[in-house]
Amino acid sequence: MEKIIIFDVCHTLVDTNSTFSYVDYLLDKWIKPWYKILFHNKLLWYFYYFLWLFFRFDVKIFLTKSFFKWLVVKDINILSQDYYKRYEEKIFPNMLTIINRERKTSKIILLSSSINQPIDYLKYKFGIDWFSSKLEEKNWKYTWKILLPLWWRKETIFEKNYFSLIWYKEINYYTDNHDDINLIKYFNRKNNNLKIYIRSYWNKKYWNNFFSINWIKHEYLD
């Protein structure tokens, strides 16, 4: 296989943020009385946003750690089954068509900064390779420590040789994520035959400015 097709996941392959929707689901499923107070109060939401914007502190992840640290992995997996059914329904049909069409002639991988549980599900559904920000497991429980965090630095996977691109003459990358700019620059340095497919969920003007400077082949999916 001379071509590799790499998919960002959140809002590209699936119509949701995998980490946030998964954490929301767990909190809603397990602690309903607290959920409405903690996550449906507008004043609290402004405060959470402030913490994320200035300190990169994610309140949802913190609360999930606090509430679920005593549950064994098996319990959380059982609790998650209904989420996975809903998650599968959020796969974009045109992305599913591309995977089914290309999988016999191209290498396909998922590359996500999401925590790994939702991405694991897609891995087993499609039978393809994946990389994500994996949660650490210890003594049959999640510590909620993130192993190899990939936020804003997905290129780490290639720089640290977790996966090599040297066998592929062509790279196609599908994304909606502005944070992937550094990854796209990395791909462009490594491969002359690169094409980026943008699901323009975010501001198209931002992408236009980037491509006008870097002259990378690209196409908008919508």
DSSP bridge partners of 10: 14
Residues 6+ apart with CB under 8 A from 27: 34, 35, 38, 39, 60, 63, 64, 67
Instruction: Tell me the pLDDT band of 100, cut-offs 50, 70 and 90.
Output: very high
Report residue 75's pLDDT band, with 50, 70 and 90 as the boundaries.
confident
CATH 3.40.50.1000 domain residues, the chain: 3-16+90-220
Q: Of the spans 38-47, 88-97, 135-144, which averages the highest pLDDT?
A: 88-97
pLDDT of res. 74: 87
**CA-CA-CA-CA torsion for 181, 177, 19, 24, nearest 10 degrees?**
140
Q: What is the pTM of this model?
A: 0.85
Mean pLDDT score of the chain = 87
Sole residue written with tokens 């290309």: 102
Q: What is the CATH number of domain 3-16+90-220?
A: 3.40.50.1000
Instruction: Give the 3-state secondary structure of 3-36.
Output: EEEEECCECCCECCCHHHHHHHHHHHHHCHHHHH
pLDDT at site 217: 94
Instruction: Tell me the residue type at 204.
Output: K
Tens of pLDDT, residue by residue over 7-27, are 999 999 999 999 889 988 887
Question: What are 104-137's pLDDT values in tens digits?
Answer: 899 999 999 998 999 999 988 898 999 999 888 8
